[in-house]
Amino acid sequence: MRAYLDPGAAVVSVAVAMVVGVYVVAVIDGTAGRLAAGAGRSDLGAVLLDPLRTVALLLTQRRRRTERADAPGWALAPGLLGGLAATGLAVVPVGPGTAVADPSTGFVVFATAIAFVMIAVFLHGWSPNSLFPLIGAYRYGAQALSLQIPFLLAMLATALPAESLAVMDIVEAQADLWNVVRQPLGLPLYLMVGVGVSFWGPLNLPDGADLIGGTSAEDAGTDRLAWELARAAMLFSIAAMGAAAFLGGWWGPLLPGPVWMALKTLFLLVVMVSSRHLVARVRIEPFVVACWAVFIPLALVNIFVSGALLL
Amino acid sequence: MAALEPLGAALAVFVFATIALVAIRSASDATAGVGETAPERVPFLGGHEPDVHAWSRFHARYYVMALLFLAFDMEMVFMYPWAVVFVREGGIALAEMGMFITILLVGVLYAWRERALRWA
Amino acid sequence: MNRSLTVDVLFWCFAAGSVLTGYLVFRTDSMVRAAFWLLASFVGVGAILVLLAAEFLGVVLILMMAGEMLIMAVVMVMFMMNPAGLNPMFMVHQHRFAVAAGVVSFAGLSAVALTVDFPDQPVDPAVDATAELGFELLGDSMLVFQTAGVALLATMIGAIALASRNGRFGTADEGSLEPALDIEELESP
Amino acid sequence: MGLRPAVERVAARAPVPVFAVAGAGAQAQVDDLLLQPRLHLVDSPAAANVLLIAGSVPAHLAGELARLHDGVSRPRLSLWWSLGSSVAPPMPPAVEVLDADPSVLVEAVVDTHRRLLFGELTSSPPVLPDEEPAPWRGIGPYGQGGTGMTGGVPYGRPMAEVAPDRDGLRLDQLTVRIGPFFARFPTGLVLEVQLQGDVVQQAHVVVAPEGEAAVEVDVPTTFRDALNTPVPVSVLELERARSHLRSIASALVAHQLPSLARRVLRFASNVHPDQSEDVQRLHRLLRRSQVLGWATKGVGPIPSDQLEGTATGPVARASGVDQDERTTDPAYLGLGFEPIVHDGGDARARMAQRLAEAGQALQLAGRAGDRHHDPEASLESPRGRLAVGDLPAQRLLPLLPAVLEGMEWGDAVSTVVSLDLDTDEVLALRSPDRELPVP
């Protein structure tokens, strides 16, 4: 029997977690940005409050349409992205036997959520019928298709010791040894892909600065708000899964399991979010070649080496 | 049939989050005033108007990579059940999947050698 | 709500959704919408597979369709004359033949569904279907599995050879002859 | 009531989203606005509520400015920061700020936005008449303005047409004019590009027609003053370091590192002769962030043989051309000046070149004492040789078509950014046939 909450409780707990997670992403981003900018004294009030004020500001800004836009697609895209982030978050267990949803194919469900991100981003860029969003959409197509296989391979390696595709079992199997030790290549690959999937920082190619905002270039007001919320939620849900699959989830001394889970998620969030202030935008074409010619072979090496060590 | 409830919970979460974000996105419609004029709807290119619709037969130059992806994605399906039984099957699983993957890597190597992954 | 009723309701929702979105594939003018309606239809089918206790197969079907349908959208937009349906058009040709073919195949499939005596062997909930699939792949179906690998390799090489213009030995159309097609003629409405 | 005023009160304290247009004589000041925590500089008008016009924008950009204004999200207002210019923008702004102090401007922007939210100011109405790009309603079998599959003007615009491409496919080619207010380009630069997918098939620079009232390049800058009067070498070199650092900051923004750009801008505004080690530290930082790494390596290569008769300055020296007008100036010779040269000729070399030159400039400024440069010798500005009627931008822009051809759009933007074009010079360019004058 696998752990799950009834739908009402599931919705409430994921909603709370997502709101907290999105806010934490914004605060980490503000802090990392100020540190990277080398601003003398840091203004804690602004770091904590500016995200909320920006939400309010975007609520006051009028939405905008472009001529002959695909309005339903435009409306659906951020919703789809947010729904995928929430689904990804739902399958991550927070403690032994405690999960919003722990299907026996939890890992495949998470991978499905990641795969559908490309549909959401493509839809978001296609809908405005505008050049820069369109280029962003197609660019993300290349990026996501190339990222998909390394992502699945890096994640799949964690299923080997667990002998199961359920995320709960994957965490259980790390009682003695975390996967980050067992498969040292796995976590860096996963984080790279995670940053790429939530198109953040160096891998923010669809919404890049060279496309003056790319798929969200035509977004105003709540369009932009929903899109940014969904993107931050995606980042959060990827960090949570990374903590569960590679950093041993709830395992840890002294503190209760869920606290460990939160700390590890926070750690991965800091790593992923601050990449935005440390690394420059990647060029799409060399990146695609690198994914196929370097990251896929590396991910395969990771699988086979960790597999051979298991036997 | 025991496994359905967790998936049901995940589905509920998906549906709710999607609806919630669509609702947030529509929040400002309530405060919307008059409609936009035609120039306000022109896609932004830096000041000049586009001459044609952006929607077009868009030249996605990574089509060869996309075809490669189709084949590789298929391969991934075999790998999930393999991963589950890997420890129980032992060496034979390693050898079989090793062979399978090597065959497919030849394809990637070929693509890379033919410079099929580059486009610009 | 009782459990089997919930499953029934979900089944009918997904089934009706699949049929409806499948119908919409042919009713829309935009290639992107058509591809994504088809994706929605497949998602419904995947969900039905899950309801039929083929959990892994259902979820994996949904997973795979994301990439495949994105590629389908990209390729359809590349090669259709009017990819966004800015000028309305019909996705269906030869209406009478299409209607007849549809009715005949529907009738045929319904007849099969109604007349065949389907085996009634509920899977034991304790059985892990994914693991069974793994044992099958590594056991009796090993040859099938390896053959699939070779077939996929052939697919990759064939696709690259056909689609890629550049290669080690120069461009693909060097010394080739253009097909005797007048492109302008094709493009006129 | 109740919720909305509360939201508006909170929103009034948020960083104000501003789309800034840097006119002549305002580029540096607009770049420095990135340091203002209460402003949020955005790249697309849809994200903005305030349109900030700084300096003077020439009258021939009136149409584009109006279209930009109409693209800004409601509630919106435009604001002019005069910065010493007496020529008001071609579109009357709602608020004028005459003080050059950035904190006064920030105060004005924040206040304007707050009053806009509270309804004390009304959102500025669209400037352009509500006209469709082409009449289409009711035309065609479905009233969409088109006929057949590709004909007519469905919803007001025609559809793109096919053109051959290098991979043998005949797919749609989009011809678009990017600019003059594209956030990554200097104001006034208009590139007409033919795109297939994300690749530039052809690019050419569109110049303002002759006869349009010119924004004279009379905005005083240290280097333009130096054409006529002797200026202390230390002043020139500090200004050179500042200019190079600003150029690196805008490249950092283009490579999605606005935080590092802030660090560089702060460095630039407090630049001091004994800070050349800080330049070293900056170099390490940029290497680690890969801005001086795979992000720019091999992007926009300009071989030195293409440079004959065109670019001078850091762009030429980054391609290995050992030429610097300072070597002809006795004041510099006395300081033991040797030009720095990089090879590679790509965007990375150009950025490394500017960074190295910034360090060198600081050292020179420290050693220069009270030497003055020789106004008779030709002058090396941060962007190359400067003389009356011989502007560096005029020599740099002709390089673009050849370099950009066949380039992915992101690389194309990186390349344009790496040339460090001067806004004032670009705005001053005129030609009778709107083609680039051949240097």
Give residue-wise pLDDT tens across range A60-112.
Answer: 898 888 888 898 999 999 999 999 999 999 999 998 888 888 888 899 999 99
Q: Is residue A108 part of a domain?
A: yes
D254 touches chain A (CB under 8 A): yes
Q: Considering only CB atoms, which chain B residues are within 8 Å of C130?
A: 80-81, 84
What range does the domain containing C57 cover?
1-83
* Contact with chain C for residue B15, Cβ under 8 A: no
Query: DSSP label at D321?
Result: -
Here the tokens at position A226 are 């929903």
D156 close to A67: Cβ distance less than 8 angstroms: yes
Nearest CA-CA distance, residue B10 and chain D, Å = 33
In chain D, what are the domains? Answer: 3-117 (3.40.50.12280), 157-209 (no CATH), 222-431 (1.10.645.10)
Question: With an 8 Å Cβ cutoff, is D290 touching chain A?
Answer: yes
User: With an 8 Å Cβ cutoff, are B94 and A101 in contact?
Assistant: no
pLDDT attached to residue B75: 84
- The reply to whether C110 falls in a domain is no
- In whole angstroms, what is the distance from residue D255 CA to residue B29 CA? 35
Residue A16 falls inside a structural domain: yes
β-pair type (D190-196, D170-178): antiparallel
Please provide residue A105's backbone torsions phi and psi, each rounded to the nearest 5 degrees.
-110, 35
End-to-end CA distance of chain C: 56
Output the pLDDT for position D404: 92
The pLDDT of residue C188 is 47
Q: In A38-158, which ranges are continuous DSSP H helix?
A: 44-60, 71-90, 106-126, 131-156
Output the average pLDDT for chain C.
Answer: 85
> Looking at the structure, do residues C76 and C10 belong to the same domain, yes or no?
yes
Under 8 Å CB-to-CB from B91, ≥6 apart: which residues? A311
User: How many residues does the structure list for chain D?
Assistant: 439
Interface test with D, best of A138, A279, A288 (most D CBs within 10 A): A279
Q: Distance (Å) from the C-alpha of residue A196 to the closest C-alpha of chain B?
A: 17
Q: Which residue of C has its CA nearest to A138?
A: C74
Residues C4 and C77 in one domain: yes
Give partners of B (≥3 CB pairs < 8 A). Answer: A, C, D
Q: What's this model's pTM, rounded to 2 decimal places?
A: 0.94
The separation between CA D340 and the C-alpha centre of its own chain, rounded to angstroms, equals 25
Cross-chain residue pair B120–D406, CB shorter than 8 Å: yes
> Which of the residues B13, B15, B52, B105 would you substitute to probe the A interface, choosing the one with the greatest number of A C-beta atoms within 10 Å?
B13
Q: Could you tell me if residue C59 is inside a domain? A: yes
Tell me the pLDDT band of A22, cut-offs 50, 70 and 90: very high
Cis bond upstream, residue D75 (ω within 30): yes
Task: Tell me if chain B has a CB within 8 Å of the CB of C166.
Answer: yes
Across chain D, which has 439 residues, the per-10-residue mean pLDDT values are: 83 94 90 92 94 90 92 91 84 83 93 92 90 87 84 89 86 91 92 92 87 63 84 90 94 94 92 86 91 90 84 88 87 88 91 93 88 84 85 87 91 94 87 72
B61 and D155 within 8 Å at the Cβ level: the answer is no
Nearest Cα of chain B lies from the Cα of C172 at a distance, in angstroms, of 11
Instruction: State the residue for tokens 């030869």.
Output: C94
Nearest CB among B64, B72, B115 relative to C163 is that of B64
The partner residue sitting opposite D154, judged by closest CB among C87, C173, C187, is: C87
B39 and chain A: CB distance < 8 Å anywhere? Answer: no
Count how many pairs of residues, chain B against chain C, have C-beta atoms within 8 Å.
159
Domain's final residue, options C23, C58, C83: C83
Per the domain annotation, does C66 fall within a domain? yes
Please identify among residues 185-224 of chain D the ones whose CB lies closer than 8 Å to any CB of chain A: 195, 197-198
- List C-alpha distances in Å: D352 to A36, A207, B48, D291, D344: 21, 27, 34, 10, 10
Instruction: Evaluate whether residue A2 is within a structural domain.
Output: no
Instruction: Say whether pLDDT at C180 is over 70.
Output: no
Q: Name the minimum distance, in Å, from the CA of D291 to any CA of chain A.
A: 6
Residue A146 lies in a domain: yes
- Using DSSP's 3-state secondary structure scheme, residue D205 falls into strand
Please count the residue pairs, one from chain A and one from chain C, whose beta carbons lie less than 8 angstroms apart.
58
Whether the CB-CB separation of A299 and A158 falls below 8 Å is answered with: no
Residue C112 lies in a domain: no
How many domains are there within chain A? 1
Look at residue C164 and tell me whether its pLDDT is greater than 90: no
Structure confidence at residue C189 (pLDDT):
45
Asked whether residue A66 is assigned to any structural domain, the reply reads yes
A271 vs C135: which has the higher pLDDT = A271
- By the CB < 8 Å criterion, does B49 face chain D? yes
pLDDT at position A41 over 70: no
Write out pLDDT tens, residues A204-262: 999 999 999 999 999 998 999 999 999 999 999 999 999 999 998 888 888 888 999 99
pLDDT digits (tens, 9 = 90+) for C45-92: 999 999 888 889 999 999 999 999 999 999 999 988 888 888 887 777
In the chain, the amino acid numbered D269 is S
Residues with Cβ within 8 Å of A195's Cβ and at least 6 positions away in sequence, in order, are A201, A202, A203, A272, A275
On whether residue C189 sits in a domain, the answer given is no
Of B9, B38, B112, the CB nearest to A4: B9
Give the range of the structural domain holding residue A306, as residue numbers without chain letter. 7-310
Sign of the dihedral through C-alpha A153, A155, A159, A164? negative
A1 within a domain of the structure (yes/no): no
CB-based contact C21:C44 (threshold 8 Å): yes
Determine which of D43, D76, D142, D256 to mutate to test the interface with A (most A C-beta atoms within 10 Å).
Answer: D256
Quick check: helix, strand or coil at residue D176?
strand
Cβ distance D314 to D395 under 8 Å? no
Closest CA to A152 of A285, A296, A271: A296
Q: Are D74 and A62 in contact (CB under 8 A)?
A: yes
* Cβ-defined contact of D148 to C165 (cutoff 8 Å): no
Identify whether residues C1 and C74 lie together within a single domain.
yes
**Pick from D154, D169, D177: CB nearest B59:** D169
Provide the domain count of chain C: 2
Give the integer Cα–Cα distance in Å for D297 and A5: 52
List CB contacts (< 8 A) between D37 and chain A: 43, 46
Task: Categorize the per-residue pLDDT at C179 as very low, low, confident or very high, splitting at 50, 70 and 90.
Answer: low
Residue C108 counted as domain residue: no
pLDDT at res. C131 = 85
H helices, E strands: number in chain C: 7, 0
Q: What is the pLDDT of residue D310?
A: 79
* Interfacial A residues in 268-307 facing D (CB < 8 Å): 276-286
